[in-house]
Structure 1
């Protein structure tokens, strides 16, 4: 299945989702890659990771870009040559990109029990009280995605998910919440939107103005 959906997250932010059902060969033959991307692809040990990487390049094409329009800074953050903001994520059978006029961070996570087991290491577990086991897993995965998304925006050495990024409590049906980053004697706020795509959680963070 090629492009699964395009969703407007707000008036100037777009989410594109690719469900990967193609073979590696089919994906590879459908995109043009610059030399540095070919080398990066060749260095990936997992075919799933390779296909996620190629899925992102197919999404770029859907948005009117190519791999040649994308570059990474010294911290590994992706950028587009035209200055539009981009965030990238892929997990198992899905690749996503978010394009925006705002600085954004996006994350895609598959629902897995390990995330819930690790929850005390990265979140306030009181936010999981009084929920069913299924919803505890879903909420813990959203919180992990929130922290990943904020980190993708800030990308500063020393930021701890547990000690510096604090999500406001929220209900799963809200599909949005707020979060604070308290780091280096400064507090910054971010707006969060999230959604569920089959057995995956999608999260996007926006810098609060």
Structure 2
């Protein structure tokens, strides 16, 4: 059972990360899906996506939930029955969830150099021109992307632009945390963002800031 990492962010917030090594058949054992989710996974063409889908259900179980406790709203945002909030992510052979008493978002991304080619679409790239080391630039841009994706998931309103509406404050790679703001229409919401790197992947998770 490859639970890769558990992070206790605070007394009411936990992150669970899974390294997907098992077959779909192995991951399916002991997991009861709703009919809708059973249909969804049956129609997935990618075996890795199917395995990622099932690994999320194991992470839910670690948090004390089942597939029947999970549902999605009209914007595609996941929710749990009860008072807890959840966010979900899956990238290649890693998946993760975050469960909290407050609004949250989480994202995992594989670190790849091609992110430099699309950076201008999600962040003011001139802010990073001083980073001469390509590896450091790739890592920092991946953190920024993950941070913005986690905020996008938490804020969950159609029309939000990574470039125009989500701002991530400056940070050093070794800080492992930063702050960010979503400004959209009449709303301004502040978040605290933590991140970690492992096995060529980056994970970032965002919680509402107490200083709203």
Q: Give TM class, smaller chain.
A: over 0.9
**1:135-161 alpha-carbon deviations (Å, 9 max, x no partner):** 111111111111111111111121111
* TM-fit CA distance, 1:185: 4.2
Q: Which moved more, 1:181-190 or 1:149-158?
A: 181-190
Quick one: distance in 2 between partners of 1:199 and 1:101? Answer: 30
Residue number in structure 1 paired with 2:154? 153
Residue number in structure 2 paired with 1:65? 65
Quick one: distance in 1 between partners of 2:202 and 2:3? Answer: 18
Q: Which runs of 5+ in 1 are unaligned?
A: none
Alignment of 1:12-51 (within 5 A): 12-51=12-51
The runs of 4+ residues in structure 1 deviating greater than 6 Å are none
Contact 2:75–2:158 under 8 Å retained in 1: no
Q: TM-score, normalised by structure 1?
A: 0.95
| Correspondence 1:203 to 2:209 | no
Alignment of 1:10-159 (within 5 A): 10-131=10-131, 132-159=133-160
- Matched length: 209
Quick one: distance in 1 between partners of 2:169 and 2:11? Answer: 24
Secondary structure at the aligned position of 1:192 is classed as: strand
Quick one: distance in 1 between partners of 2:43 and 2:127? Answer: 40
Residue number in structure 1 paired with 2:4? 4
Superposed CA RMSD: 1.4
Quick one: distance in 2 between partners of 1:92 and 1:167? Answer: 25
